[in-house]
Each structure stands twice: as structure tokens, then as C-alpha cells.
Amino acid sequence: MEQRRLGRTDINVSALCLGTMTYGEQNSEAEGHAQMDYALDRGINFFDAAELYPIPPKKETQGRTERIIGNWFKKSGNRDKVVMATKVVGRSEMNWFRKNGEKSKLTREQIEQAVDRSLTNLQTDYIDLYQIHWPDRNQAGFGSMPTRWKDAIPAEDENSIQSTLEVMSDLVKSGKVRHIGLSNESAWGTMRYLAASDVFDLPRVVSIQNAYSFVNRTFETGIAEIARREDVGLLAYSSLAQGYLTGKYRNGALPAGARKTLFNRMQRYEHPRTLQAVDAYHALASEAGLDPSQLAIAFAKSRSFMTSVIIGATRMDQLETDIGAADLVLSDDILEKIDEIHQEFGNPAP
């Protein structure tokens, strides 16, 4: 498995990262443990979680994912073999994350509560990469890169980027966190974090975890240059468009046990233009004799601004297929055809 440098740190992470957000909902603890065993055996040393997980977020299940990982660390003794990433939630109406029932936001008290609970859940005394799941400020759209601007009214008690970074700095100094990263962040927000680091001598963000796939390449238009020039590499989530690019939902199919079938989410992928794009990429995979999932993952992995592509699965055969993309190198001809499809359909599911 190819290893890539995480930001400007001395940490190398696998080009594929194991996503875990199904553990505790769609996947049992035993299944999660089997996936981690398999991923580690195949050369993946990078796992990603969040205090929010599993998905969909619910008070009854929150924290299960981290606890499942923590039990695996304890049972396997493999903590030192894994670069562990997790996240603190940003501002939201959800009020079940904190002891006092307060709605989530990035105050010092809330961040400190979050990291201490994640450490307990994960049964570890340090987190390699602690990420801000989404900003404290109100945004035009979740995921940070909408294709249309919508004014967002600032919260009266908005916590500044500098204040958030100051809390993170203290966590790094304490040894609880090694490095910090962003998620669902914009170009403006990313640069403000970098500027605050420079001006106030605070820790530098080393990565950004945003959506990136055939049907959402908006990262390229606003943040890719930052990722390249500032060494804040992308950790891509939803590279399979939450399963749509696998082809399993084509023609209205609803496979048993699939996320769409269980939870009726992911409506962003159901626009006719998006479905047409999915069909076009699926046809390209068929023409090239490639698995459509591996085509999508290999494309994301090939981007110069990519540190690691996060993969997730509910079945072991899906995970095996996804990891099989690790050694796939796409030809210039296929890359050109991908760009031709993108030119026609653009970003229909940002």
C-alpha cells in the first residue's frame, strides 16, 4: 500500500483510509473488528472516525463507533500500528453531545469534553489527527463547496477560528492530540486557519476532509491549490457518492441493507442529471473492463492534492473490492474520458 506524508508532519499514512461510520449501526462490533483486521493486513494504517458516528446521527447510538474501535485496540494490541483520526462536531441543533444538553458549538468547554470522551471511547491516551467536523460559523451549505451562494446569517455567539485553534493548541501541548485537521471547510476558512497559525504561532492544520467524487469535484475549484501549496492534503470522503457510483442504486434499485434503503437519505444524488452522470461513469468502467467502484477510487487517489481516500463498506466483499483499487493506475486515455464526462455533467451533486 502506498504511503503518503500527512501534511508537513513526520507521519506517513496509507493512500486509502478505513472509514468507520457504519460501525454500531449497519455493522456490528464483530464485523467492525473483522474489517479493521483485514484493512490492517492489507496495508491500511489510517482509520477515520468521529464522535458523531455512527451515521445517521442519533442520541441512542452516538459514540458507538469509537467504542467499537477502542475495544479492537484493547483486544488486538494494534494501537501503535494505526494512525487514528477522529472529529469534534461543529455548531448544530443537536443537543446530545455535551453533559449539560447544550447545542453543539466549538467552545473551549465543549471541545475539551469531546476530546476527553473520544480518548475514553477509543481506549487510548492520544489522537493522531483531531479534526473539526464542520465549522462553528454558519455556512452557505454543509460540505463547504456549494455551487450556488446562499447568504448565511452569522451566529451571535460565533466562536472565532483563532479561539478554536487556541484550544487545539492546548490539546497538542497536553499530548492528547498530535495534529489537527479540518473537515467540510471552505477555501476561506482553510486560509484563515493557516493565517492564524502563522500570526499567533499556533499549530498548523495538516489535512482537510471534504467530499470528492466524480459527481462532486468542487474541491478542485476553490481549495485544491491551497492543498498543494500549503501541504493541507485532502482526505476525500464519499468518493463513491455514498454508493451511487457503485451502480447499486441504478434504475431505482434499493438493495437490502443499503443505506438508502434503510434510512431514505442521500437525496442529493437523485437529481436526473446526477443519475445520468452516474450512468456515464458506469458505462466508462464497463468499456474499460474495470469495476466502477475501483475506477472512482483510483481516480480520487490519482489527484495530486490527495493525501488519502476514505473508503467504507458494510460487507467484507465491498471492502475487498475497494482496497483492490490501491494498485490501480488509470491510463491517460481513461483520465481524459473522465474529464470529458465531467465537462458534460459538471458537479451535479455537491
What would the pLDDT profile of 244-259 be if each residue is shown by its tens digit?
A: 999 998 888 888 888 8
Residue 326 grid coordinates: 490501491
Q: Indicate left, alpha or beta for 238 from its phi (over 0: left) and psi (-120 to 50: alpha).
A: left
The pLDDT assigned to 143 comes to 60
Mean pLDDT of the chain: 95
> What pTM did the predictor assign?
0.96
**Closest Cα to residue 17, out of 272, 325, 232?**
325
**Closest Cα to residue 133, out of 196, 20, 67, 50?**
50
Classify 113 as helix, strand or coil.
Answer: helix
Contact in structure between 32 and 64 (CB atoms under 8 Å):
no
What would the pLDDT profile of 118-172 be if each residue is shown by its tens digit?
A: 999 999 999 999 999 999 998 876 665 677 788 888 999 999 999 999 999 999 9
The pLDDT assigned to 262 comes to 85
Residue ranges of the chain with per-residue pLDDT less than 50: none
Amino acid type, 219: F
Query: Could you tell me where the DSSP H helices lie in the chain?
Result: 29-41, 64-76, 108-122, 161-174, 187-200, 219-222, 224-230, 259-263, 272-288, 292-302, 316-323, 332-345
Contact in structure between 216 and 303 (CB atoms under 8 Å):
no
Q: Indicate left, alpha or beta for 143 from its phi (over 0: left) and psi (-120 to 50: alpha).
A: left
**Active-site residue set:** 53
Instruction: Give all domains of the chain, ordered by start, each with its CATH number.
Output: 3-244+303-328 (3.20.20.100)
**Cα–Cα distance for residue pair 258/105, rounded to 1 Å:** 31
